[in-house]
Amino acid sequence: MLFKSSKISAVVEWGTLLISTVLVCFFLVVVIWEIVSKGAGQLSWDFITKVPSAGMTKGGILTPIIGTVMLTILTALFAIPFGVCCAIYLNEYAEDNWLTRTIRASIRNLSGVPSIIYGLFGLALFVQALQLGTSLLAAGLTLGLLSLPYIITTTEEALMRIPNSTREAALAVGATKFETIKDVVLPSAMPGILTGVVLTLSRAAGETAPILFTGAAFYINNSNGYLNQEFMALPYHLYMLSTQHQSIEEVRPIAYGTALVLIIVVFFMNLTAFYIRFKYRKSATEM
Amino acid sequence: MKYKTRLSLDILFKIVFKGTGLLVLALLGGILAMLVYNSFSFFMDVKPLDFITGMEWSPTAAIPKYGMLPLVLSTTLVTFGAMFIAIPLGIGTAAYIAEYASPRVKNLLKPAIEMLAAVPSVVIGFLGIVVLSPGIADLADLSNGLNALNGAILLAVMALPTIITIAEDAIHAVPKTYKEASYAMGATKWQTLRKIIIPAAAPGIIAAVMLGVGRAIGETMTVLMATGNASILPTSMFDSVKTMTATIAIEMGEVPYQTTHYFALYAIATVLFLMTLAANMLGEYFINRFRKYHAV
C-alpha cells in the first residue's frame, strides 16, 4: 500500500515538472506558430524585393531589409576587431592585477546594461558629441558598443579552451608571442570565436531600443543604405507598423510578414552558430 | 622577415591589445559620465527629493511634475509579475532537464530554449498586441488587454531562458555524492530534489533569478508595446502602466534637446542603471558563492 502510493506520487511529481517544461515549450510553439501561420501568406519574392509604397500599406520590405543588413555589417566591422583584440589581451597578456580585474568587472557590468541606455549613450556620443547626426553609422556604432561585451566574453572562452601546450610549442620553435597568437592560437580558436560572433550579431540584428534615437526612421523613400542618412530596419519597422502607423489594422499582414522575415533571419544566424559549434565539437573529438 | 621587425610588431600589437582593453573601461566610464552629468543638470532644476518621492509624472503639463514613483512602481509591478510566473516555471523546467529528461529529450530541449532566447523582443511585444491583448481583454472583460499583466507574461517568457539555463547549470553542478547519500537513506527522487539538490543549488538558482530580474527591468520593446503606457500610479495588474524603459523610449524622441524634461529622462536612466546593476551584482555574488562552495 505504502509502496503503491509512493509510486503514484512519483508520477505526480514527475508530471509537475513535465508540465512546466511543456508550458515553456508551448510558449516557443505559440511564438513560431502565430508568426509563421499568419506571416507565410505574405512571403513572396515581391515582398522581399519591393520597397514599401502607398504609405507603407502596399509593397514589400526591401528598404528595412537593406537597413538591417547594413546595420549588422557595421556592427560586425566595429565590434569584432575591438572585441577579439580585447579578449586576446585579457586571456594572453593580462596579469592578475587590479587593472585586469577592473576591466573584467566592467565587461560584466556592460553586458547587464539595458539596451535603451546604450541608445541614450549612442545619442549623446555619436549623434550629438561626434556630430554624426541620426544616421546608419551612428546606429551601427551604438549596436557595436552593445555587442562588444558579448564578443569579448565568448572569444575569451574560445581562447581559454586552447591548451597551453599549443602556445608553448609555437614559442619553443622561435615564434614571437604575437606570431603565436596570430598563426596558432587564433586559427585553432576560430570556430569558437565565430559561434560567439554570429550569435551576438543575431541579437544585434533584432535589437530595437538602441536604434530608436540614433537613426531608425519611420519611412525613407530610397534604399541606398548611405552611412550618413537615416534608415529603416526590420525590428523598428515591425514596432512602427504595429503601434505607430495610422491604419494599424490595414498593415497588420505586412507586420506579420516583417516579423516572419525577422525571425527567419535571426533563427538562420542561430542555426549557423549551432552548426559551427556542432562541426567543431565533432572534429575536436576525432583528433 | 627580419628579427627586428618581428620584435617591433610583437611590441606594437601588445600595445594595441592593451589599448582595446582600456577602451572597455572608457566605454563604461563614458556611460557613467553621461548619466551623472545629465542627471546633475536635471537636479539643478528639480529637487532630488521631489524626483524620488513625486507621485506624478507629467513633464509636458503647464506646471511640469517630475515624480519618478509611478514609473518605478510600474517597472517593479511588471517585473514582480514576470518573476511570479517565471520562477516556478523556470526552476521546474531546469529540474526536469537536469534530473528527469533522457539525453535525447535534453538534446531537443536545450536548443528549443536557446531558440526562445533568440526571439527578438520586438516580436514578443508584437505577439503581446495580437495574441495576448485580445485574450486578456476577453477573459477580464476589459476594453483592451494592454496592461501590466500582459507585460508581465511577456517578460516572463523573455526571462525564462536566462533562468532555466543558469538554474540548470546550478542543479547539474551539485555533486553526485549528495544525491547518492540521499538515495542510500531511502529518500525518493522527489524528496532528494526538494530537500537536497535544490537547497544545495540554491545560490545558483538565486543567481539565475536575479539575472532574470535584471533582464526584465531593462527590457524596453516588449513593455513599450504591450503595457498601454499610461503614466499613473498602478493599483492592480489590470492597470495600464508606463515603465521606466518605455518612458525613455517614448519621450526621448519628442523632447527638445537639453531641456529639463530631456535631463529628466537621463535621471530616469540613471535609476534604471542602478536597479539593473544591483540585480546583476547580486546575481554575480550568488554565482561566486556557489562556485566557491562547490570547489571545495
Contact A149 B24 (CB under 8 A): yes
Whether residue B130 and residue A25 make contact (CB cut-off 8 A), yes or no, is no
Residue spans per domain, chain A:
2-39, 46-286
pLDDT, one tens digit per residue, over B225-258 is 998 888 778 888 888 899 999 999 999 888 888 8
Neighboring chain A residues of B211 at a CB cutoff of 8 Å: 112
Contacting residues for A191 by C-beta, under 8 A, at least 6 apart: A158, A276, A277, A279, A280
Query: Cβ separation of A117 and B24 shorter than 8 Å?
Result: no
User: Which residues of chain B lie closer than 8 angstroms to A145, CB-CB?
Assistant: 27
**How does pLDDT run across B27-76, given as a tens digit for each residue?**
999 999 999 999 999 998 888 888 888 888 888 888 888 889 889 999 99
ipTM of the complex: 0.91
Q: Which chain B positions have a beta carbon within 8 Å of A27's beta carbon?
A: 116, 157, 160
Cβ distance B27 to A259 less than 8 Å, yes or no, reads no
Contact A117 B272 (CB under 8 A): yes
Do B217 and B122 share a domain, yes or no?
A: yes
Sign of the alpha-carbon dihedral angle for A222, A224, A225, A226? negative
Query: Domain range spanning residue B276?
Result: 57-295
| Residue A17 neighbours by CB distance under 10 Å | 21
Q: Can you say how many angstroms the Cα of residue B89 is from the centroid of all Cα atoms in its chain? A: 17
With cut-offs at 50, 70 and 90, classify the pLDDT of residue A283: low
Which pLDDT tens digit goes with each residue over B173-216?
A: 888 898 899 999 988 888 898 889 999 899 889 999 999 999 99
* Cβ neighbours for B229, distance < 8 A, ≥ 6 positions apart: B240, B241, B242, B246, B250
Please report residues of B whose CB lies closer than 8 A to that of A21: 92-93, 96-97, 101, 109
Same domain, B94 and B155: yes
User: How far is A27 from chain B, CA to nearest CA, in Å?
Assistant: 7
Give pLDDT tens digits for A214-228.
Answer: 988 878 777 677 887
Cβ contacts of B190 on chain A, cutoff 8 Å: 9-10, 13
Q: Which amino acid is at A102?
A: T
| CB-based contact, A275 to chain B, within 8 Å | no
- Give the long-range contacts of residues A28-35, CB within 8 A, separation 24 or more: A28/B112, A28/B115, A28/B116, A28/B119, A30/B127, A30/B131, A31/A263, A31/B116, A31/B119, A31/B123, A31/B124, A31/B127, A31/B157, A32/A263, A34/B127, A34/B130, A34/B131, A35/A256, A35/A259, A35/A260, A35/A263, A35/B123, A35/B127
Lowest mean pLDDT: which of A16-20, A145-149, B142-146?
Answer: B142-146
Asked if residue B217 belongs to a domain, the reply is: yes
CB B118 within 8 A of CB A202: yes
Phi, psi of A59 (to 5 degrees): 80, -170
- Residue contact B112–A28, C-beta within 8 A: yes
A90 touches chain B (CB under 8 A): yes
Size of interface A-B (CB pairs under 8 A): 239
How close is the nearest chain B Cα to the Cα of A144, in Å?
Answer: 11
Which of residues 236 through 265 in chain A touch B, CB cutoff 8 A? 236, 238-239, 242-243, 252, 255, 259, 262-263
DSSP reduced 3-state for B234? coil
**Are B185 and B253 within one domain?**
yes
In a domain, B152, yes or no: yes
- Residue ranges of A 4-23 with Cβ closer than 8 A to chain B: 6, 9-10, 13-14, 16-21, 23
Decide if B51 is inside a domain. no
Using the Cβ of A156 and the Cβ atoms of chain B, whether some distance falls under 8 Å is answered with: no
A2 to chain B, any CB pair closer than 8 A? The answer is no
At residue B295, does pLDDT exceed 80? no
pLDDT the model gives residue A71: 93
Res. B296 pLDDT band, cuts 50 70 90: very low
Looking at chain B, the whole-number percentage of residues with pLDDT higher than 70 is 98
A-chain residues near B266 (CB < 8 A): 120
Is residue A127's pLDDT more than 80? Answer: yes
Buried b (16+ CB within 10 A) or exposed e, A149-186: bbbbbbbbbbbeebeeeebeebeeeebbbbbbbbebbb
Instruction: Inspect the interface and report whether the beta carbons of B126 and A242 lie closer than 8 Å.
Output: yes
> What pLDDT shows up at residue A284?
61
Distance, in angstroms, between A189 CA and closest chain B CA? 17
A43 vs B: CB within 8 A: no
Which residue of B2, B221, B242 is the best one to mutate when testing the A interface, meaning the one whose CB has the most A CBs within 10 A? B221
- CA distance, residue A45 to nearest chain B CA (Å): 22
For testing the chain B interface, which of A31, A116, A127 should be mutated: the one with the most B CBs within 10 Å?
A116
Write down the architecture of domain A46-286 according to CATH.
Orthogonal Bundle (1.10)
Which residue does chain B place closest to A261, by CA atoms?
A: B123
Q: How far is residue A79's CA from residue A84's CA, in Å, rounded to a whole number?
A: 8
The pLDDT of A186-209, averaged and rounded, is 92
Which residues on chain A are in Cβ contact (under 8 Å) with B280? Answer: 108-109, 112
Does A1 have pLDDT greater than 70?
Answer: no
Asked if B123 lies within 8 A of A262 by C-beta distance, the reply is yes
Q: Are residues B131 and B40 in the same domain?
A: no
Is residue B26 a part of any domain in this protein?
yes
Distance from CA of B132 to the nearest CA of A (A): 11
Q: Are residues B191 and B283 in the same domain?
A: yes
Query: Which pLDDT belongs to residue A187?
Result: 92
Q: A2 pLDDT exceeds 60?
A: no
Interface residue A196 vs chain B (CB under 8 A): no
Residues of chain B in contact with residue A85, where contact means CB-CB under 8 angstroms, are 16-17, 19-20
**Mean pLDDT in chain B?**
89
Report yes or no on B52 lying in a domain. no
H-type helices in B64-118, by residue range?
Answer: 69-95, 103-118
Which candidate from A13, A85, A239 shows the least CB-CB separation from B225? Answer: A239
Query: CATH number, domain at B108?
Result: 1.10.3720.10
> Which pLDDT does position B225 carry in this prediction?
92
pLDDT at A286: 52
Are the Cβ atoms of B190 and A262 closer than 8 angstroms? no
Sequence-distant (6+) residues with CB within 8 A of B249 are A116, A119, A209, A212, B220, B221, B224
- CA-based nearest distance A222→chain B, Å: 23
Total Cβ atoms within 10 A of residue A115: 23
Chain A residues closer than 8 Å to B250 by CB? none
Question: Does residue A59 surpass a pLDDT of 80?
Answer: no
Q: Which residue in B19, B23, B95 is closest to A17 by CB distance?
A: B95
Report residue B294's pLDDT band, with 50, 70 and 90 as the boundaries: low
What is the tens place of the pLDDT at every residue in B101-155? 889 999 889 889 988 999 999 999 999 999 998 888 888 888 888 888 999 999 9
B12 and B152 in a single domain? The answer is: no
**What percentage of chain B reaches a pLDDT higher than 90?**
49
Number of domains in chain B: 2
